[in-house]
């Protein structure tokens, strides 16, 4: 794989760019698309700094550092400049960091960044070859590995000033962090285990306990709208996820309004918004066809509510997206558009497909 470019192999600067088709020149390059996502994540990142202080800054920096370092180590020397210039590794690190709790030891955030890139991307063959969303894979690994540290939440806005650092952040590598603040249940945890509903206002603004970048519904939607206006994401996926989740929880609410939360709570609690706009829409791990996008989104929306309501864990976005990632090749295969002039028998079915 490393020797398919004879110009690079000689170690000289390539004047002749060798590429496989398609060779159309487009304004939308990988680095440009990544830049849009960085900008769209800015509001959510700022919210994390506001609510969780310097801890959030350090967590984001270490998970980004872990991701970039791993990408750097596992990229052949002659390809490094190119591979790192698209900033996708750093973006994976940022997305992972936003899904971590504020009190997590920094070494875990670093390890998460390494696993995201190492097991989530590099091992599959680099950008564009991975099956699962790397950031979510890193989070799944951390959740499975350190279940207690990953579910010990501190309440947002509890800090006296910005520079108050949680002592557990500074735990030595391989050692436990002792949380100094009172641990707090997330809105989803409160709902599941104590039947307490968090007010919509808090969920919308974000001053609740939770992952540092997931609490503020408003700012995440702002980023999502930016991505949509820049045409950087496939709008079908968020629409499908949010509609399905809302409808499913509405049905549950109609069945029993004591036990199940309202659709608005479902949409604005936990990682659903962040996952919907920034992780499920990852072009590498989501279907290519419009029809496939609808199936993919509906699947995620359905699974999220299913896991939240009937599963052992309060939150289900992570596993819902990963499960549908795994189903993506299959969805793509069965939603291929008809080749013109062939397969007349399938004509009827394909007429029904949306555009």
Binding residues vs another protein (CB under 8 A) = 105, 108, 119, 123, 141, 144-149, 151, 171, 174-177, 193, 312
DSSP state of 354: -
Please state the closest distance from residue 7 (CB atom) to another protein, in A: 23
Contact residues for 266 (Cβ-Cβ < 8 A; gap 6+): 245, 246, 249, 272, 304, 305, 308
Please state the closest distance from residue 88 (CB atom) to another protein, in A: 22
> In the complex with another protein, which residue's Cβ is closer, 176 or 349?
176
How many C-alpha atoms does 156 have within 13 Å on its Cβ side?
23
How many C-alpha atoms does 178 have within 13 Å on its Cβ side?
1
Please state the closest distance from residue 313 (CB atom) to another protein, in A: 11
DSSP H/E element including 187: helix 187-194
Please state the closest distance from residue 148 (CB atom) to another protein, in A: 5
155-193 CB burial, b ≥16 within 10 A, e <16: bbebbeeeeeebebbebeeeeebebebeebbbbbbbbbe
Contact residues for 173 (Cβ-Cβ < 8 A; gap 6+): 107
> In the complex with another protein, which residue's Cβ is closer, 102 or 267?
102
> In the complex with another protein, which residue's Cβ is closer, 114 or 159?
114
> In the complex with another protein, which residue's Cβ is closer, 10 or 178?
178
What 3-state class would DSSP assign to 153? strand
> In the complex with another protein, which residue's Cβ is closer, 151 or 202?
151
Contact residues for 169 (Cβ-Cβ < 8 A; gap 6+): 55, 58, 59, 103, 104, 105, 106, 177
Residue 149's CB: how many other CB atoms inside 10 A? Answer: 20
CA distances from 243 to 21, 111, 302, 305, 313 (A): 37, 35, 10, 12, 22
Please state the closest distance from residue 147 (CB atom) to another protein, in A: 6
Please state the closest distance from residue 112 (CB atom) to another protein, in A: 12
Please state the closest distance from residue 70 (CB atom) to another protein, in A: 14
Query: Is 131 within 8 Å of 124 (Cβ atoms)?
Result: yes
> In the complex with another protein, which residue's Cβ is closer, 47 or 179?
179
> In the complex with another protein, which residue's Cβ is closer, 78 or 332?
78
CA–CA dist 268, 239 (Å, integer):
14
DSSP H/E element including 282: none
> In the complex with another protein, which residue's Cβ is closer, 105 or 287?
105
Please state the closest distance from residue 158 (CB atom) to another protein, in A: 19
């Amino acid at each position: 794989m490393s020797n398919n470019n004879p110009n690079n192999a000689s170690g000289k600067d390539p004047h002749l760019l060798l590429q496989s088709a398609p060779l159309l020149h487009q304004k939308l390059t990988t680095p440009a698309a990544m830049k849009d996502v960085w900008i769209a994540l800015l509001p959510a990142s700022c919210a994390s700094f506001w609510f969780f202080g310097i801890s959030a800054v350090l967590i984001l920096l270490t998970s980004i550092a872990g991701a970039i370092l791993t990408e750097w180590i596992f990229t052949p020397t002659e390809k490094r400049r190119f591979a790192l210039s698209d900033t996708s590794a750093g973006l994976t690190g940022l997305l992972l960091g936003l899904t971590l709790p504020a009190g997590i030891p920094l070494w875990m955030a670093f390890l998460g960044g390494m696993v995201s890139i190492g097991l989530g991307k590099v091992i599959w063959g680099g950008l564009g070859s991975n099956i699962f969303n790397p950031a979510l894979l890193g989070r799944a690994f951390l959740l499975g590995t350190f279940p207690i540290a990953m579910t010990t939440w501190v309440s947002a806005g509890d800090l006296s000033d910005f520079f108050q650092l949680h002592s557990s952040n500074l735990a030595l590598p391989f050692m436990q962090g002792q949380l100094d603040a009172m641990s707090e249940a997330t809105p989803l945890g409160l709902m599941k285990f104590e039947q307490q509903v968090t007010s919509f206002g808090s969920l919308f603004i974000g001053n609740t306990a939770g992952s540092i970048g997931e609490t503020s519904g408003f700012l995440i939607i702002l980023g999502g709208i930016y991505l949509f206006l820049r045409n950087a994401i496939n709008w079908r996926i968020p629409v499908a996820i949010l509609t399905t989740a809302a409808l499913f929880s509405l049905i549950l609410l109609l069945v029993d309004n004591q036990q199940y939360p309202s659709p608005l709570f479902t949409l604005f609690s936990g990682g659903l918004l962040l996952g919907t706009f920034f992780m499920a829409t990852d072009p590498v791990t989501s279907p290519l066809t419009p029809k496939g996008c609808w199936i993919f989104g509906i699947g995620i929306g359905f699974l999220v509510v299913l896991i939240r309501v009937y599963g052992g864990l309060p939150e289900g976005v992570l596993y819902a997206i990963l499960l549908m990632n795994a189903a993506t090749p299959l969805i793509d295969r069965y939603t291929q558009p008809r080749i013109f002039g062939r397969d007349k028998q399938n004509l009827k079915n394909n007429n029904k497909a949306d555009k």
